[in-house]
Amino acid sequence: MARAATTSDVFNAIAEPQRREILALLRTGERSVTELAQELGMTQPGASKHLRVLREVGLVRDRRAGKQRLYGLDAGGLRPVHEWTGGFERFWNESFDRLDAYVQDLKQTREAE
Amino acid sequence: MARAATTSDVFNAIAEPQRREILALLRTGERSVTELAQELGMTQPGASKHLRVLREVGLVRDRRAGKQRLYGLDAGGLRPVHEWTGGFERFWNESFDRLDAYVQDLKQTREAE
DNA sequence: TTGACGCATGCCGATATGGGAATATGATTG
DNA sequence: CAATCATATTCCCATATCGGCATGCGTCAA
């Protein structure tokens, strides 16, 4: 078996930096494919391909507007990723706690001197 | 160019479901490679390879313990992912707002009847 | 030193990728 | 209908994957 398809998962879809850029840009509003391509410095086919992946995992929606096709954000699909990583939140806070405890210790030691 | 290396990014590293399982399991404590492989139903080389990827992006740490090698979580690297997705939080809340508004409308309409 | 154990690495095959270029498809206008 | 503009798709290449299997390497015990 090879690597899973980029469309198999939101996790896979957002593994591509350019796709993350697309999503970030779409936060400010809908764009046509050409606009997107220009603003992000990619070719039209390139943008189109990335948008297709994002569409297939449900992170963007498209609607026709004349001969253009406007893409907009549908970020609900990012929620599972946010929640999954959130399940580890206490682990990176833990590091701070430890550091904090260390600093407290240091303080006390110095004050005692 | 092909797809980016799985080790190029935390985003790429966690695109693999089995690697996410490994991380989830490690929340409950350190494991040896063989333990991990058994608990997750993968082969030893399989586990070893995934662990290597996770190590290279800094999501796990290893320490020697006799002839075993214990792997533990270092989940700080997940924080950027959590924060990045968090940047879209208002968009999925927005959906709820819309739905909420719709339900409110419906209520009012019915009450007016 | 020789085994035995735990883990890492190497090689293979099948597969999917992202980029570039060309082209097909679709919609609008004259 | 023909011409034009906006997107989508296709073909090709180089690359990296994941899985299975065999094997190498490091550590410990006798």
Q: How confident is the model at residue A105 (pLDDT cuts 50, 70, 90)?
A: very low
Nucleotide nearest to A3 (CA to C1'): D17
Residue that wins the pLDDT comparison between A100 and A83: A83
Residue-level pLDDT at B71: 97
Confidence at A107, pLDDT banded by 50, 70, 90: very low
Scanning the structure block, which residue is given the tokens 């190590």? B55
Domains of chain A, earliest start first = 6-112 (1.10.10.10)
Mean pLDDT of B58-74: 96
pLDDT band at B111 (very low <50, low <70, confident <90, very high): very low
Residues of chain A found within 8 Å of residue B76, distances taken between Cβ atoms: 91-92, 95
| B75-112 CB burial, b ≥16 within 10 A, e <16 | bbbbbebbebbeebeebbeeeeeeeeeeeeeeeeeeee
Say if A102 is an interface residue toward chain B (CB within 8 Å): no
Find where tokens 């929606």 sit: A61
* Residues of chain A above pLDDT 90, percent: 78
**Closest CA of chain A from B29, distance in Å:** 11
Q: How far is the CA of A65 from the C1' of C29 (A)?
A: 15
Residue in A closest to B73 by C-alpha: A91
A12 beta carbon to strand D: under 7 Å:
no
User: How many CB pairs (< 8 A) connect A and B?
Assistant: 77
Separation of alpha carbons A77 and A27, rounded Å: 14
Rounded to a whole number, what is the distance in Å from the CA of A109 to chain B's nearest CA? 29
Q: What is the mean pLDDT of residues A80-106?
A: 74
Residue B2, Cβ neighbours under 10 Å: how many? Answer: 5
Give the residue-averaged pLDDT of A52-62: 97
Mean pLDDT of chain B: 88
Least CB-CB distance to B75: which of A73, A75, A91?
Answer: A91
C-alpha pair distances (Å), B32 with each of A41, A58, A88, B39, B49: 46, 38, 20, 11, 14
pLDDT score for B20: 98
List Cβ neighbours of A85 (8 Å cut-off, separation of 6 or more). B78, B79, B81, B82, B85
Q: Which residue is nearest to nucleotide D26 (CA to C1')?
A: B67
Residue B24 has pLDDT above 80, yes or no: yes
Torsion angle, CA of A97/A100/A101/A106, rounded to 10 degrees?
170
Cα distances from B92 to residues A43, A71, A105, B78, in angstroms, run 30, 17, 43, 21
Query: Tens of pLDDT along A7-47?
Result: 999 999 999 999 999 999 999 999 999 999 999 999 999 99
